[in-house]
Amino acid sequence: MIRLFTNTLQTSRLLPAALAITTLLGTQTTSAQVKLPRLVRDSMILQRDTKVSLWGWASPKEKVTVRFNNKRYTTTTAADGKWRLWLAPTPAGGPYMMEIAGSNKIELKDILVGDVYLCAGQSNMVHQMNLHSVRYANDIATANNPQIRQFWIPYVNDMNATRADLAGGNWKWANPEDVRNFSAVAYFFARDINERYKVPIGIINASIGGTPIESWISEEALQTFPNFVSTIQRNRDTAYINTLQRNASAANKPGPVKDKGLTGLQHWYDPAYQPKAWRDIAIPGYWEDQGIKDLNGTIWYRREIDIPASMTGKEARVFLGRIHDADVLYINGKQVGNTTYLYPQRRYNVPAGLLKAGKNTFAIRVSNFNGKGGFVSDKPYYVFAGNDTVSLTGYWQYKVGEVFEPVTNPVPPPVAAQNQPMANYNGMIAPILNYTLKGFCWYQGETNAGRPDEYARLQPALIADWRSRWNQGELPFLFVQLPGYMDVNYRPEESSWATFREAQRKSLSIPNTGMAVAIDLGEWNDVHPDNKKSVGDRLALAARAIVYGEKGFEYSGPIYESASVEGNKIVISFTHTGGGLIALDNEPLSNFAIAGADKKFVWATARIENGKVVVSSDQVTQPKYVRYAWSDNPDNPNLGNQERLPASPFRTDQ
């Protein structure tokens, strides 16, 4: 008896990762049961124009027959019940059906053949279209392309050994409902490729926010990194890990509520509550910058907001920018939204009927655990319904609800499996190694940004590891160089993020790799910049050249090649100059710094001459080194090419 959990394209819904495998595939009731991996199910996309791997499990020495595209394939399972066979190369097209038969039959429907990419990394690859629904509202509303499909791999980590299969997941196609859960970067990449080559594009998304690169690399590939080897061995000590987890759980056990805004006779969000001895404070802004010194705790913000009658009786939305660290929003005494950590933009739905004409009580409870607490500037703060908008910026009243006591004897934090070496590889990459691919798209690095020298070895290790595991030759590997982030420094500086971008760029020496420069796409106050489309577009440009072999166009911004000292000037040469070097804003070139042997950098004058950049400064008569856009978040780096692609930051003093 063969049992397989399948879903049609129209009715499938993403299954929770916590569902047991037996729930997905049925309880094994006979020794003859044939099983297939989770990726092999209705509405999948298979790789075109090459042999395609198909695999599964059955009883030892059982005969398995597959019929696909008018061809018949047979194999016999090994002693451990595993089987694998290869489908003949098939051109792009579909939909097809597939029949797999052991002691009975499984039918898979609506299979397309096109190009399949593994899109992996951390949060900026995770970020779904839904999280950027304001910017991409039209893209979501008009999505209607069954040829673009995503398989979102559920979060599963294993600190001990590789998994044989995934814990769930479904293929979904790009329609206004399901595209909301597509990775935004991966979707725009796939859309560009599909529109250009008219072939189905499959996205296998394996990404988890905040995860370091070493968590995505196999144990074998980490053997040259002794610190990770020792961590892997430590994590296999079950007693040690269990003790850490128990201690952390006990230390974090919630105690009694101490917040005065929640423990008095009247809660501070109650419209009937009469504030006494409250002070003024501005939104946006951090409270440490407004007269509150080094407070970790909770602060309540409260204000009467005038709402016009035209906004009542209908659903509304509140945008509260970003908040450090956690918040709860109440309107007229009702909780309408909350977020438990600092990164997401706060976008809360207000049910119809809650807002009333005239004064409405808005109360926000903000909790901060370290660093500055409060509201991030340069973000949207307003409530809107229909065509009407009311600003929430300006002065509010505030009162401290609770001051968190300093931790004098900190307990070691729990071990987060998803951040451990090899853990995500074991749980999310190893189970899909047999799935034939076209290439990889990688957007990761923020978590490793403080370790650039190590990353210069880790990213090549990841590339070599994955290529070896898939055994499809030098599969194309496309990656995103980190954008600008954090405060702008208007003086030349040392920069961990700039050094990290350099470490990323070094991987371009590996054949069949491409890098999307994103230095101009960041936001100083958000590690998750909103412009995901340009990132996907630039990855697609790289794919056109590296994956598809297109000629006669430029796919990258200028990349530093060499430098030569000529008297009191340094002349910089670049690759990927395209139609010629330009200043992207038609202003003088900016963000070039120059130094002599002492490496004391000063801002320099830079100009384009004969396809190169000439850099000099009256303050440095014997120059030796140049840096460009060398900071965490450079102010308006404007060197690019005629194709409007920005130059990658660089330095010559290595």
Question: Is the pLDDT at 22 greater than 90, yes or no?
Answer: no
CB 210 within 8 A of CB 419: yes
Q: In this structure, which amino acid lies at residue 346?
A: R
The token pair at 642 is 């005629």
Q: How far apart, in Å, are the Cα atoms of 227 and each of 205, 215, 425, 519, 582?
A: 28, 13, 18, 31, 45
Q: In this structure, which amino acid lies at residue 463?
A: I
Question: Is the pLDDT at 9 greater than 60, yes or no?
Answer: no
The token pair at 175 is 């329609």
Question: Is the pLDDT at 589 greater than 60, yes or no?
Answer: yes
What burial class does residue 214 get, using C-beta atoms within 10 Å of its C-beta: 0-12 exposed, 13-18 middle, 19+ buried?
Answer: buried
Nearest CA among 60, 100, 65 for reference residue 81: 60
Q: Among the ranges 21-35, 254-268, 327-341, which has the highest mean pLDDT value?
A: 327-341
**Do the bridges between strand 381-385 and strand 316-320 make them parallel or antiparallel, or are there none, so unpaired?**
antiparallel
Q: How confident is the model at residue 32 (pLDDT cuts 50, 70, 90)?
A: low
* pLDDT tens figures, 347-386: 999 999 999 999 999 999 999 999 999 999 999 999 999 9
Question: Is the pLDDT at 517 greater than 80, yes or no?
Answer: yes
Q: How confident is the model at residue 406 (pLDDT cuts 50, 70, 90)?
A: confident
**DSSP three-state, residue 651:** strand
User: DSSP states of 499-559 as a string?
Assistant: HHHHHHHGGGGSTTEEEE--TTS-BTTBSS-S--HHHHHHHHHHHHHHTT---SS--S--E
> Which residues of 69-185 form beta strands (DSSP E)?
71-76, 82-87, 93-101, 105-121, 145-152, 171-174
Question: Is the pLDDT at 31 greater than 70, yes or no?
Answer: no
Q: How confident is the model at residue 17 (pLDDT cuts 50, 70, 90)?
A: very low
For the residues 456-471, what does the mean pLDDT come to?
98
Cα(524)–Cα(213) distance, rounded to whole angstroms?
23
Residues facing residue 68 across a β-bridge: 71, 98
Q: Which helix (H) or strand (E) holds 319?
A: strand 316-320
What burial class does residue 586 get, using C-beta atoms within 10 Å of its C-beta: 0-12 exposed, 13-18 middle, 19+ buried?
Answer: exposed
CB 127 within 8 A of CB 183: yes
Question: Is the pLDDT at 248 greater than 90, yes or no?
Answer: no
Q: How many CB atoms lie within 10 A of CB 507?
A: 21
Question: Is the pLDDT at 21 greater than 80, yes or no?
Answer: no
Q: Which helix (H) or strand (E) holds 239?
A: helix 238-251
Question: Is the pLDDT at 18 greater than 60, yes or no?
Answer: no
Nearest CA among 551, 504, 511 for reference residue 649: 504
For the residues 209-233, what does the mean pLDDT come to?
98
- pLDDT value for 409: 79
**Which of these ranges, 5-9, 50-54, 570-574, has the smallest mean pLDDT?**
5-9
Cα(52)–Cα(268) distance, rounded to whole angstroms?
62
Cα(247)–Cα(261) distance, rounded to whole angstroms?
30
3-state secondary structure 374-396: EECCCCCEEEEECCEEEECCEEE
* pLDDT tens figures, 519-547: 999 999 999 999 999 999 999 999 999 99
**DSSP three-state, residue 69:** coil
* pLDDT tens figures, 137-152: 999 999 999 999 999 9
Percent of the chain with pLDDT over 70: 95
Q: In this structure, which amino acid lies at residue 208?
A: I
Q: How far apart, in Å, are the Cα atoms of 392 and each of 319, 339, 360?
A: 9, 18, 12
Q: How confident is the model at residue 28 (pLDDT cuts 50, 70, 90)?
A: very low
Nearest CA among 183, 175, 192, 201 for reference residue 46: 201
> Which residues of 193-278 form beta strands (DSSP E)?
201-207
Dihedral angle at the C-alpha atoms of 9, 12, 18, 20, nearest 10 degrees?
-80
The token pair at 162 is 């590789």
Tell me if the pTM is above 0.95. Answer: no
Which has more confidence, 380 or 27?
380
- pLDDT value for 122: 98
- pLDDT value for 491: 95
* pLDDT tens figures, 269-314: 999 999 999 999 999 999 999 999 999 999 999 999 999 999 999 9
Backbone angles phi, psi at 98, to 5 degrees: -135, 140
What burial class does residue 388 get, using C-beta atoms within 10 Å of its C-beta: 0-12 exposed, 13-18 middle, 19+ buried?
Answer: middle
- pLDDT value for 249: 86
Instruction: Quote the mean pLDDT of the chain.
Output: 93
- pLDDT value for 16: 30
Q: How confident is the model at residue 407 (pLDDT cuts 50, 70, 90)?
A: confident
Q: How many CB atoms lie within 10 A of CB 390?
A: 17
Q: Which residues of 339-368 are buried (b: 16+ CB within 10 A; e: fewer)?
A: beebeebbbbebeeeebeeeebbbbbbbbb
* pLDDT tens figures, 152-209: 999 999 999 999 999 999 999 999 999 999 999 999 999 999 999 999 999 999 999 9
